Each structure stands twice: as C-alpha cells, then as structure tokens.
Structure 1
Amino acid sequence: MSGRMVRIAGLFLLSGMLTACAAGDEPRLLNLRAPGPGPDEFAVVPAKPLQAPRDYAALPPPLPGAANLADPTPDADAAAALGGSRAAVTGGGVRDPGLVAYAGRFGVAPGIRSQLAAEDLQFRRENDGLLLERVFNVNTYFKAYRPQSLDQYAELERFRRAGLRTPAAPPEGLER
C-alpha cells in the first residue's frame, strides 16, 4: 500500500470513529417529532364527564360547530388556574383583561420578542461549536446554554432549607 492509500484509509477510520462518538442519546426536548408512527401521548386530552340536564325540554337547539360540554378546554382551565376567567378564553387565546394586566404589572417592553430573537441569534452565532462539531453535526446546544441553565437540585434544596413545600423530584441522573 502506498502512503497516500494509508492516509485515505486513516481518514475514513478517523471519520468513522468521530461519527460513532456523536451517536449519543439526545433528550426528546430537542426532537419535536414523534419517533414513530404510534400515537402522540401529548395530543390525548381526556374528555370531561358527561352531565345529564335537569330538563331535556329546556335545552337549546344544537348548533353546528358549537362546543360540547364534555369537550376538553385546556386553555380555559389554564386561565382559571392562573386566576383568570374561563369565559375570557375565546378563539385560541386568553382575552381576560385582568389576567393580562396582572401578567404585565411590572411593565411590558415594546418589541421584546424581536429583541430577544436577535440577541439569541447573536448568542447562537457566537457559540455555534468548533469546526469539527459543525462538520459532523454534533449537538452543542447544552454546552452553549450551560452557563444560563438552572441547577434544579440546588434550587430544590434551597427552597427546602427556606421551609417551602416542594414537589418530589427524581433522583439525580434520572431526570431524562
């Protein structure tokens, strides 16, 4: 074998080794598509229990496309849990002025979404990984955002030391 053939074989071997290293188990949060043709467990919302009316004769006539009392209403349930009104949730959004005022009680910066998007794009450009990480499509998401992430177990202990009731958390290492 010539020296050139040995170098080419070495490059193929090196690329195979690097590719094998990148085949780690990625968390599902970065994979937003279902892994197969099976059902999506987050698309299943249980129906509310059926209710019998007190007087069947007093029922209004059925309207095509109208909501059923047994249909799930997760948006209205979330608004009620946050202190808003269930009736204020219409057409895919919360329209409760009290809830909106409470959420913006410390002020609202105009254009905050576009400002955050521009800042995040700049941050990602500055932390896009090394050349080989980009060439071999290695995920650098967690490495880039590590300084901004919250240590959930340290916060859990801090809350418990302060005497606050906290929910149970999985043991460290089993959070995925």
Structure 2
Amino acid sequence: MMPRALIILALVVLTACGSRQDTADRDTNLRQLRNPNGTPEEFSIVPPKPLQAPESLTELPTPTPGGSNRTDQTPLKDAVAALGGSPARLDPQQGIGAGDQALVARVSRFGRQANIREELAEADQAFRERRSLFNWRLVPQDTYNRIYRSQILDPYRTLEAARQAGAQTPSAPPR
C-alpha cells in the first residue's frame, strides 16, 4: 500500500512541476491570455496595411533603422482617428500637449521623479517574484487577482471613510 501512495504522490508532484510558467512569460501577461498548447495563435497574426504609391518620390520619408514602417499596423492610432481624435498626439516625441501642460504643472508642483515608471516596474517585478515562490495550484487560477489580492481596496469601506471625513460622495449601489 505504501509504494502505491508514494508513486501517486510522485506523479502529482511531477505534474504540478510540469505546468510552471516561464518567468518572462508570466511577467508579461498576468491575465493568462496566451495560447497554452504552444500552437500558432490565429488572432495574433495581423496583416500589414496595403502598400500605397506616393504622388512623387519626394514624399517618401527617409528610412530610419529600427523605425516604423508605413505599412505597420497602428491599432491605437487607428482607433483614435476613427473616434475623431488626433493620432499624432500619441507619439512620444510630441511632448506634453498644450491642453495638458497646466495639469502636469499642477501635479508636479512638489517635484517629480523622471524615472518613476522604471522604478515602479522594478518594484512590481520584485513583488510578483516574492509572491510566486510557493504559489502553484492544481487548478489554474487568475494570476493577476491572486498576486494583487492583498492590495485590493474595499470600495464600500473607502466610501464610508470618505463620508465620515465630510467629503461629498455619490450614491453607491447596495452590497
């Protein structure tokens, strides 16, 4: 009886070890939207935009190594253009738009860190690595909610605290 129990336990342990995710894969996609069986994903293949001949050769931009191509898909810019916005405002080299300069000045009146995004990304990476040391399950679960469970705010408790502090708050749906 004892050897059978050890064999079953060994099989369960080996099965659990075989489903571990690669660290880079786990970090880039917390919501488990990847294809688990390793076959090509038909929705990740995006065809390029059609080629267009310019009116004259002087309209062609100078090629830049590593730069974008005129036929590359830009879904975010296409969505902004379809909704009537200016896709050029999404370019990082544009800087802060005129409409947002007052907001940025007000928010950064006490100073700001230039590398805050990199710093937060490193802290988040370290937090997720600490949380994933002994974090395996027999049944798959949403990684995002499991890792950040301790940081979720209770909206009703926060609303009640704001009301007790004297803040005017909108009504909330019942629990």
Q: Same fold (TM over 0.5)?
A: no
Q: Which has the larger radius of gyration?
A: 1
Higher relative contact order (CA 8 A, sep 6+): 2
Q: Please, what TM-score do these two structures have when normalized by structure 2?
A: 0.42
Q: Please, what TM-score do these two structures have when normalized by structure 1?
A: 0.42
